[in-house]
Amino acid sequence: MKFFIDTANLDQIKEAYDMGVLDGVTTNPSLMAKEGIKGVDNQRKHYVEICNIVQGDVSAEVIATEYEGMIKEGEELAALNPHIVVKVPCIADGIKAIKYFTSKGIRTNCTLVFSVGQALLAAKAGATYVSPFVGRLDDICEDGIALVGKIVEMYRYYGYTTQVLAASIRHTAHIMQCIEVGADVATCPLSAIKGLLNHPLTDSGLKKFLEDYKRVNG
Ligand code: E4P
């Protein structure tokens, strides 16, 4: 399974990349706003900075919600760097835009996906990635991980090549559950990725090894 980091924070992106396990980055307008990045020029500079850190896919989301605007914005974003994947919301104009981008060889991430039906439309339009939002479904007492599993099965059954990118991952257990249902990618906060390292037997085992070493070697 590939790991993307779900942030626009350059320090966190560097830290995850330096661990040697990072395959890409996802951003969205809320994550860009959280970093205080204002205005089109600054946003685009920021995407390029992210691409310069990571050797992997970087999702940059369009703000337009009608077809023509999405095409213009998506083509401009894709031209910034070969790592850019144009992130498009799962609405009618978005599906049409994904179909267009696919025909032009521009890679896409169909975002805000909450049902198998939406994921089917994204795959039929040729999306590179589909992003089911796990945490936001859990927030309303639905089963986000179950949706990821159903989309994986549906794509396998029909032979779609769109990759299932589990998004809105909130904690380490979500990552483990994504592995169990066969997600292609999980995009996670840095804390959730680092949480995979936690095991009390690793900590106590290391402590004992170092104590034994010191006892003999001083
Ligand atoms: C990433 O592609 C999504 O925009 C993001 O994971 C949403 O996460 P949230 O539900 O925690 O805002």
Q: What is the pLDDT of residue 60?
A: 98
Q: For residue 64, is pLDDT > 90?
A: yes
Q: What is the pLDDT of residue 42?
A: 97
Number of other residues whose CB lies within 10 A of the CB of residue 213: 10
Residue 181 belongs to what domain range?
2-217
What CATH code is carried by the domain that includes residue 17?
3.20.20.70
* CA-proximal residue: ligand 1, atom 4 (nearest): 28
> Alpha-carbon torsion 80, 192, 141, 182, what sign?
positive
Q: What is the pLDDT of residue 218?
A: 86
- For ligand 1, whether the C-beta of 29 sits within 6 Å is no
Mean pLDDT of the chain: 98
Q: For residue 100, is pLDDT > 90?
A: yes
Q: How far is the CA of 102 from the centre of ligand 1 (A)?
A: 23
pTM of this prediction?
A: 0.96
Burial call 121-148: b when 16+ CB within 10 Å, e when fewer: bbbebbbbbbbbbbeebeeeeeebbebb
Can you tell me the ipTM of this complex? Answer: 0.98
151-204 tens-digit pLDDT: 999 999 999 999 999 999 999 999 999 999 999 999 999 999 999 999 999 999
Name the band, by pLDDT with cuts 50, 70 and 90, for residue 68. Answer: very high
How many angstroms separate the CA atoms of 35 and 58, rounded? 16
DSSP per-residue codes, 73-136: HHHHHHHH-TTEEEEEESSHHHHHHHHHHHHTT--EEEEEE-SHHHHHHHHHTT-SEEEEBHHH
Count the domains in the chain.
1
Q: How far is the CA of 13 from the centre of ligand 1 (A)?
A: 16
Q: How far is the CA of 137 from the centre of ligand 1 (A)?
A: 11
- For ligand 1, whether the C-beta of 28 sits within 6 Å is yes
